[in-house]
Amino acid sequence: MSHRIDLLPPTCPAHFARPRARPLARPLARPLSPTTCPDHFARPLSRRFPPTRHTPPIPLRSPWKPTANEPKLSDRRSTWSSAAAALERASSVIVVGGGPVGVELAAEIAAARPHLDITLVSRSKRLCSAMPPQVHERCEAWLECRGVRLVLGADVRELSESGCTLADGTQLDADVLYQCMGFRPATGALRTHFRERLDQSGALVVNEFLQLKPHVYAMGDAIVHRASNELKLAHTAELNAALVVENVRRQHRGDPLLTYPDGIVGSDRSPRVFCVSLGPHHGVVAFNGLVVGGVIAPITKWLIEWTKVAACAERPVGVLFWRFGDWFSCLLSRTVLRPVGEH
């Protein structure tokens, strides 16, 4: 049996008009209300940023995700270089968003540039709020210990190249501002044929077989699979992909399809595995309810990255590592270390 696989490069800018490339200073979030944010500013800003020396700000965009204008590695290198140069010149930084990306970014900057004024603003009242409470506590303690100011439970109303305005009108200014508020799925190109499968956020709603319709599957960050409601991670994208591959084979043979996630992990919940780095030598690693902090996190992350790259290059060391790792993590998750909390 052979299948034709077409990998389409993102060459058409019209298809990639991502929502985050929106104009500056546009209202971003719903307004604060006592019900949505009861302890807004329970942690008041200890001080407002003083005016900082003028430095040309970088364009308001997220340098860690490629845009349609950066199809080549050389384009990405140029983006990274100008972002690094802007950070080099800065004396103050604002990170907007308290999920893993914002936390890791703030921690990297705090570790590499301890003299900088760093403020992390987040609508959620805890950092990494989708993760277990020990993760919130460890991330907050680590950042506060390094002088990062946390402004939690605060809605950002407007962004500009050098600051943001909170819903109560408080203005925060800095030389560089990074947006880490998550990404809307890049599903614009699918609106014509799959409009009825898109939810309000633009995610593709799949059925239990990860299908949009018979013979059309979707996976990864672009989908929402309501029964599992998983975190959007590379790990879960891979589980999605493994099930889709198996279902394509089964469909071809006329066999019954597997349902997600039990068809691939042997349980109705997939293992929740993640690692949040806090600078180069610290972090938090979690497997379902088990959370461990310290130097084990960067070592784990390094091991995962190294072996993943080896597996992608089809080197036996990587392939065998992940064949065993995937089997063992599913076994652990079904037996002694079951997922905790809600779906």
Residues engaged in binding ligand FAD (CB under 6 A) = 8, 10, 15, 64-65, 101, 186, 189, 220-222, 232-235, 237
Q: Which is nearer to ligand FAD, 86 or 286 (CB)?
A: 286
CB of 54 to ligand FAD, least distance (A): 29
Contact 163, 169 (CB under 8 A): no
CB of 240 to ligand FAD, least distance (A): 8
Q: Which is nearer to ligand FAD, 263 or 283 (CB)?
A: 283
Q: Which is nearer to ligand FAD, 159 or 284 (CB)?
A: 284
Q: Specify which residues 275 forms β-bridges with.
A: 285
Residue nearest to ligand FAD (CB): 220
CB of 16 to ligand FAD, least distance (A): 6
CB of 91 to ligand FAD, least distance (A): 24
Q: Which is nearer to ligand FAD, 45 or 292 (CB)?
A: 292
Residue 154: count other Cβ atoms within 10 Å of its Cβ.
Answer: 27
Query: What per-residue string of b and e applies to 17-26 under the rule 16 or more CB within 10 Å gives b?
Result: ebeeeeeeee
What stretches of 182-295 show up as alpha helix (H) in DSSP? Answer: 191-194, 234-253, 262-265
Angstrom distance (rounded) from CA 85 to CA 93? 13
Three-class secondary structure of residue 234 per DSSP: helix
Q: Which is nearer to ligand FAD, 105 or 151 (CB)?
A: 105
Q: How far apart are the first and last CA of the chain?
A: 37
CB of 206 to ligand FAD, least distance (A): 12
